[in-house]
Amino acid sequence: MGGDMGYFEGLTSSSFKTTEDGRRLFFPWGVLGRGYMVGSEENYRRLRKQMKAYIVVSALLIIVASTFFRGYNLGVSVVLAGVFLAFYLAWMCILLPRLNAADEGLSLKESMTSQARAHGPIVLWLLTIVSLVLVAGGLVMFVAQPGSRLIALAPILFFGFCAAMFIRMLLLRRTAV
């Protein structure tokens, strides 16, 4: 954690919150579910490390496998995502009964602010620029290849949404104390 600010640290941070009274909370379902108290600082650091490892390994294996199986990359990605989701659900079924439920929730703004702080301004700017470049590529495809307009909408919409989220995180980071 200390000083380790990057993309995966930002994703990991969105599942955790420290309350005003210093309690460490874990939100396995993000803003959609309840939080759980993590007992000790050691357990908190271990769980953060495990979550980060899960995110890194899942993402890298999905990317590598879909690249390796070129003609089947969507199918391979979907199957691997299902495997990792099943693993996560099993892991949470084992972990969560050992933690005490918290009475506090996690708002979308809190989650995004936590991600924004962990990503850092350079990473957020790079993600914003790359997203906007990919939107521009989709727009070029939309105009230049009228027969592929439906396909061109996918990167325009997806990376447009990503760019909007990264810009929001930049603003949240700027206003966060």
Average pLDDT score over the chain: 87
Confidence of residue 37 (pLDDT cuts 50, 70, 90): very high
Q: What dihedral angle (degrees, nearest 10) is formed by the CA atoms of 77, 82, 84, 90?
A: 180
Q: What angle do CA 73, 75, 80 make, to 5 degrees?
A: 90
pLDDT higher than 90, residue 130: yes
- Asked if 42 contacts 118 with a C-beta cutoff of 8 angstroms, the reply is no
pLDDT higher than 80, residue 24: yes
**The pTM of the whole model exceeds 0.75:** no
Distance CA 65, CA 76 (A): 7
Confidence of residue 121 (pLDDT cuts 50, 70, 90): confident
**Percentage of the residues of the chain whose pLDDT score is greater than 70:** 92
CA distances from 22 to 18, 29, 117, 139, 165 (A): 6, 21, 18, 47, 28
